[in-house]
Chains A and B, each alone.
Chain A
Amino acid sequence: MKRFWAMVQNEVVKIIKKKRFYIVLLILAVLVPIFSYAQMKQSLERRDSYGSDWRLEVQQAIIDNQNSLSSDRVPQEWKVYRQIYIQQMQYYLDHDVNPNEPGGVTFTREFINNSATLFIPLMILTIASDLVSSERTTGTIKMLLTRPVRRWKVLLSKLMALLMFVSLIVASAYLICYLIAGVFFGYSGWNIPIFTGFVLNGSDVDLTYVQATPQWQYLLMQAGLVWFVGVVVALLAFMVSVLVRSTAASIVVMMAALISGSILTNMASAWTSAKYLFMVNLGLTEYLAGNPAPIKGMTLGFSLGTLAVWAAVSVIISFAVFTKRDVLT
């Protein structure tokens, strides 16, 4: 056991030495101020048209969406989405709670919501995609396998290191986001109530399960869901990295999958069996926010199950291939 942890340590040090993790942190540190600044500009502009009164703004948003419901040019799926939005906003108004209370915590929540399916998985890919394939391109894999250690242990130590970095990436995304956004919007907002539990019946929202969740709890749940998505993406990328020899190819394969997922979810999916694809199920945080699922019949349980199956299969394939394959070059 002790020797196994030494191997994990070795892998972690290798990842850190490759400086990929620093790049991830650097990207976050550059992007978050840009988005914060854009957001600040936007809220300043809003203040110009509505004064400082958020209630007027929310009420106008409700009316505008109601008006778009009567237009024949708006597709049916959007109408369902807007109906749900109207009812949620109405609920916030009924309880006199500002859904967009500006603050570092709210910004973090919004930012992670928007980056859960593409941006954070991308950060994870930077580390996961070359974990095995780089050993093959540089030829160091032979050194690794000539040691008196079983192959599956070698792979497991790599997997372990990867999972550690998934947690680190998710956690540091939150941390960097909060620290930088706080400069722009202040560091408060942990206890603002966020309403969760909007159950959807077609275009109607069932309010019997709605709970007022303090924002810190919301962030915790959101982070957990993002982490789960991150782990699944990491395991898939890990498999691709075992299967594909070149690091570039392995990154492109995973990126293509992720991007196709975000395109598929945006298309009004009449193709219902697409819900079994892993990339359509990555938007777990949408369930938390009470947004309708991209394809009918998807629930959080369904998405978790689908992702878990994909993850399990990719782990099995990774190990089966890695332990059996001849290493020639």
Chain B
Amino acid sequence: MNSWKWIWRLSAWLSAAATLLLIVGFAYGAKQLMFPRPNLMDSQASAEAPLTQRDPQAEGDSYRIAAIGDSLAKGTGDTTGQGFARRTAALLEAEDKQPVQFLNNLGINGMTTQELLDELQEPGVQYVLKKANVILLSIGANDLFQGGAALQTGSGTPNPAALEQALPGAQQRLAQALDKLREINPNAKVVYVGLYNPFGDVEALREEGNRGITLWNAEAAARIIERENMMLTPTFDLFQRDPGAYLSFDHFHPNSDGYERIAQRIVQGMK
């Protein structure tokens, strides 16, 4: 009987202590949540975020690959989900010369040059880019074609006037993005993946598409070669003869084979 007395005392004291603690926690939590105090932190502090202050990682003896840009960088249309970015890493790995580390795929569907410029301000993105020594970039197609919407809706074919209007601004933003990339990471090799014409087998759109894209690629190439350690990997010819075989169902993005061929090009260019 005596032992029950002790058990009672023990549980009474323990539960009293626990209850007290829990009530304090509850009152504090309810107060914090219902009457929050505004913080005095500058909400636009991201410019001084610790991640942006870091130095780029020193050149090691490994490939550290990051991809950034639009749906092509992301790998949309690739049934395996790898895209040219991971495929490039896989091909480099297969060569077995240097260890390969694939850092991040920062590709976002539908990204335009303007969105890329915004994205490059993000501390987390800058952190990844600083860590990389190979940056794969794909951008521009959405500025010119609005993500292939023109083809799917059939409404606005890429009309020459609109295309020519979009080109100079987009090119200028591309140049800004390249400069920003250099500023973030002065040493990394930047590989820009050139545009191809997804409308190659659509009679009505082929001409206009070809013209706009060759124009874009030429201007982009001019901007890229004047910057150090940057290069443009052409893809136009890969999708010229038989677009159907290398494009996915949406008729805009490459399929797995298409991405593999782009990746092979990138690896060749890096040798």
Contact = CB atoms under 8 A, between A and B. Distances in A.
B18 A300 contact: no
Chain A, interface residues (CB within 8 Å), range: 35 or more
A13 interface: yes
B43 interface: yes
A220 B43 contact: no
Nearest to A230: B22
A223 B21 CA distance: 9
Contacts of B49: 93-96
Contacts of A211: 32, 36-37, 39
Given A9-B8, A95-B50, A170 B18 contact: yes
Nearest to A199: B36
B103 A56 contact: yes
Interface stretch (B106-114, B171-179, B189-197, B222-230): B106-114
A96 B50 contact: yes
Interface string B1-39: 000100110011011101101111111111011101111
For B7, B26, B122, which residue has the most chain A Cβ atoms within 10 angstroms?
B26
Interface stretch (A25-33, A63-71, A268-276): A63-71
B33 A59 contact: no
Interface in A37-60: 51, 53, 55-56, 58-60
B137 to A, nearest CB: 15
A114 B101 CA distance: 34
A271 B12 CA distance: 44
Contacts of A60: 104-105
Given A12-B11, A59-B124, A224-B25, 7 more contacts: A59-B106, A66-B108, A70-B108, A96-B49, A208-B43, A210-B39, A288-B33
Interface in A279-327: 287-288, 299-301, 304
Contact of A223 (B22, B38, B124, B131): B22
Given A94-B45, A167-B15, A224 B26 contact: yes
A217 B122 CA distance: 30
Contacts of B24: 220, 224
A102 to B, nearest CB: 20
A94 B127 CA distance: 10
A179 interface: no
Interface in B112-132: 122-125, 127-128, 131
A171 B16 CA distance: 11
For B27, B104, B106, B110, which residue has the most chain A Cβ atoms within 10 angstroms?
B104
5 contacts: A63-B104, A168-B14, A224-B23, A225-B25, A301-B34
B159 interface: no
B46 interface: yes
Contacts of B45: 94
A303 to B, nearest CB: 10
Nearest to A175: B18
A34 interface: no
B51 A96 contact: yes
Contact of A168 (B8, B15, B106): B15
A59 B128 contact: yes
A93 B123 contact: yes
A304 to B, nearest CB: 7
B82 to A, nearest CB: 13
Interface of B: 4, 7-8, 11-12, 14-16, 18-19, 21-30, 32-34, 36-39, 41, 43, 45-46, 49-51, 74, 101, 103-110, 122-125, 127-128, 131
A182 interface: no
A133 interface: no
Nearest to A225: B29
Contacts of A53: 131
Contacts of B30: 224-225, 300, 304
A227 B28 CA distance: 13
A297 B115 CA distance: 33
Contact of A221 (B29, B46, B101): B29
Contacts of A163: 19
Given A13-B7, A63-B107, A96-B50, A167 B19 contact: yes
A164 B15 contact: yes
A308 to B, nearest CB: 11
Contact of B28 (A93, A95, A221): A221
A154 B203 CA distance: 89
B11 A164 contact: yes
A88 interface: no
A329 to B, nearest CB: 29
B124 A227 contact: no
Contacts of A228: 26
B14 A93 contact: no
A87 to B, nearest CB: 12
Contacts of B101: 51
A62 B18 contact: no
Interface string A235-257: 00000000000000000000000
A95 B30 CA distance: 26
Contacts of A171: 14, 18, 21-22
